Chain A
Amino acid sequence: MKTLVSQIKQSFNNISVSGLVGQMFVLGLIFYGSYFLLLTTQENLTARGIDSGFKFLNSEAGLPISDSLIEYSPAKSYGTAFLVGILNTLFVSFIAIIFATILGVIVGVGRTSKNWVISKVSAFFVETLRNIPLLLTLLFIYTVALGTLPRAKTPFNPIEGVFLSRRGLYLPDPIAHDGFGLVVAAFFAAIAIAYFFTKWAKKLQIRTGRALPKTLISLLVIIVLPLLVFFILGKPMSLEYAELKGFNFVGGIVLKPEFSALLLGLILYTAAYIGENVRSGLQSVPAGQIEAARALRVPKSVIIRKVLLPQALRVTIPATTNDYTSLVKNSSLAVAIGYPDMVSIGGTIIGQNGQAIEIIAMWMAVYMTINLIISALMNWLNSRVQIVER
């Protein structure tokens, strides 16, 4: 469909001469502006004794970081500290995206349910979370909800090795012994087998019309094969339990309160938005399609998989792409509750050496790269569900 866009373009082209003059003027203004900004900025930086350039990334940071996925100590460089922040941002966003998607789908389906109780509860969830700022939700979870947990002295201990207290959630740490690599290898081999099996089953169905339960068999292979190898090798893994020593826990995997609060807040907030996308996707499928499928006695599960989902996803996926990128951007609120993400660590660095321009440029570059990657992945997914038109 031709739109206004080309029209406005044309009208500009008609006055090309004056347009050219205008463009030159704009260009000159930009050059002059940037030159002026550069001069004043340099003057300001020297007046305040702030360095410029990225040399500081190699100097010793001297700032402690509570949560790190890679080896880190205050003796490491600013560059490493910033990298720790990037990894923390990626880590919390990745986990939050997975759970927000699951919860969002549940809420979205729940909201379209014919069951009055389920749809009302889902609507309540969505409307509450969408209309309260995420920052308030985060602070509420961090101070109020986590404040109701028991003290570290008397943790909640539902099963052996799991401790829940104000210090965080402590889980047993699995430690791999010799031969665990084989289990991992078996897992990947199982995925490969499942992939080729699905391909073969599809061909079989096209040739003979016989449909095998592809998903079920694939899942079974992926679960059973690694487990089999695991037990044949004599369980090459042990659990290290957390222990209460003095005032704190030692050992085990820990989900710190800051991390948990941020994760929970991001999951709940984004799930509300994804739920709305799922709902509008499901409602965009004309009721007649479902009725027609039912009139043809297509089984209910096949209606969902072959009629409802392919059409609903076309509406849901583009909107959800935006929500994923928002989630990554929203993870920067970590700074308010003290989780050391990229913004929080960068903010500390600005406080130490004042090199705001460099840090902000790095933030922007990283966020835009992450968002571009997410958009590219989701566009690829989207292109697979869109209708192929001639």
Chain B
Amino acid sequence: MTNPTIFVPKPDREAPAQAKGFLHWLKHHVFNGWFNSALALSLIAIIALTVPQVIQWAFIKATWVGDAANCKTSPDGACWSFIAAKFRVLMVGVYPAAESWRGIVGALVLAILIITTITNHLKGKVLIVAWLLLPVFGYWIIGGGFGLNEVDQSSWGGLMLSVLLALVGIIVSIPLGIVLALGRFSGSPITKSLCIGFIETVRGVPLITILFMSSVMMPLFLPPGFIIDNMLRIQTGMIFFSAAYVAEVVRGGLQALPKGQFEAASSLGISYPKTLYLIVLPQALRHVLPPLIGRCISMFKNTSLVIIVGLLDFLGMIKSASLDSEWLGFETEAYVFGAVVYFSICYSLSRYGAHLEKSDPVLQK
């Protein structure tokens, strides 16, 4: 008997020398085609010309300590001591210095809540209740009352005000938006047309008109003697504005649900409210979580508009700090700092949204 021939594959050939290494990568990912090469080269040239200058300005020649006179000695560098001197104002505005710790406590609570949420230590009902309690806590820790000294709303400001406006706005507007979205599908023509009318009107106009409405027009609607603070009026305006957009997001989630879910629920004799609460909303909201994060980002960026109606939020403080007569000529530093802060917050949020979308198997198509 001869041994049967067994097929033995030859060992894999090595990749050709030109297909490996940095030069190959360069050839295929930077210099692919004459047009791309030319464009890439000019972009590299622009980067090579500007980035070292920016680094020189921002780090190497920058002044980190001292006062305005100190900064004037190095005019080619950034003056970060200006930011350091204005840091408290940028963060909390003209909030009384003796009470500043409350801003820090608020930020800490928020940080703990965020960390426990993204590490999945907080789940289910506890998570929802904790976030829903946050607006109440925020207004209490900043505004006072119930054991804390009251601080007038006109002295709230800085990043603290921006975050408060955005957080309260988005958290309160989510339930409101869900109600509006459900109302849009309602069988009652009155409810339906009211909801559609509200959503489309708000979405059709700029936020500024809503803010003008809350700031200038709302006092005309209120009975005499019944006064709401400007800040609270603007907060209300932002909540309504956000609710209309959240409603559209939630509508997308509701439309994505298969009809069978509802049929199964009604064949089991589950009541309408219970169907919504136990079956429809949990699934719909899971679908819309990433776009809701997108709404949070927009909301936070939108808070910057409140300077137009007279609140001094983070951007307002940046603007007024750059006009300080003691520190004239450092607008660039102020705006760059503002841009970095806004960018870090919004970019982290958007990364988190992308992470949610990727990690949730339901959202994978």
Q: Which residues of A contact B (CB under 8 A)?
A: 2-13, 19, 22-23, 26-27, 30, 37, 40-41, 43-45, 47, 113-118, 121, 127-128, 130-136, 139-140, 143-144, 147, 325, 329-330, 332-333, 335-336, 343, 347, 350, 356-357, 360, 363-364, 367-368, 371-372
Partner of B209, one of A30, A131, A364: A364
B205 pairs with A367, CB closer than 8 A: yes
B342 pairs with A356, CB closer than 8 A: no
Interface size class of B (residues with CB under 8 A): 35 or more
B179: min CB distance to chain A, Å: 13
| Alpha-carbon distance between A144 and B189 when the two chains are bound, in angstroms | 53
Q: Which residues of B contact A47 (CB under 8 A)?
A: 224
B39 pairs with A118, CB closer than 8 A: yes
| Alpha-carbon distance between A139 and B187 when the two chains are bound, in angstroms | 47
Q: Which residues of A contact B217 (CB under 8 A)?
A: 356-357, 360
Tell me the B231-283 residues at the A interface (CB within 8 Å).
Answer: 254-255, 257-259, 261-263, 266, 272, 280
Q: What's the A-B contact tally at a CB cutoff of 8 Å?
A: 184
A115 pairs with B331, CB closer than 8 A: no
A336 pairs with B308, CB closer than 8 A: yes
Q: B53 within 8 Å of A by Cβ?
A: no
B347 pairs with A5, CB closer than 8 A: no
Q: B220 within 8 Å of A by Cβ?
A: yes
B43 pairs with A121, CB closer than 8 A: yes
Q: B100 within 8 Å of A by Cβ?
A: no
Known: A118-B43, A133-B301, A133-B304. A41 touches B208 (CB 8 A): no
A40 pairs with B222, CB closer than 8 A: yes
| Alpha-carbon distance between A133 and B190 when the two chains are bound, in angstroms | 37
Q: Is the interface of A mostly helix, strand, loop or mixed?
A: helix
Known: A26-B191, A131-B343, A329-B206. A44 touches B262 (CB 8 A): no
Q: B356 within 8 Å of A by Cβ?
A: no
Q: Which 5 A-B pairs have CB atoms at the shortest separation, nearest pair first?
A: A12-B187, A329-B206, A131-B346, A7-B262, A133-B301
Of all chain B residues, the one with the shortest Cβ separation from A12 is B187
Q: B124 within 8 Å of A by Cβ?
A: no
B255 pairs with A113, CB closer than 8 A: no
Q: Which residues of A contact B262 (CB under 8 A)?
A: 4, 7-8
| Alpha-carbon distance between A332 and B208 when the two chains are bound, in angstroms | 7
A118 pairs with B36, CB closer than 8 A: yes
Known: A8-B185, A118-B40, A364-B201. A333 touches B342 (CB 8 A): no
Q: Which residues of A contact B318 (CB under 8 A)?
A: 136
Known: A45-B220, A136-B339. A143 touches B304 (CB 8 A): no
A38: min CB distance to chain B, Å: 9
Q: Which of B186, B220, B302, B346 has the most CB of A within 10 A?
A: B220
Of all chain B residues, the one with the shortest Cβ separation from A326 is B206
Q: Which residues of B contact A143 (CB under 8 A)?
A: 322, 331, 335
Q: B319 within 8 Å of A by Cβ?
A: yes
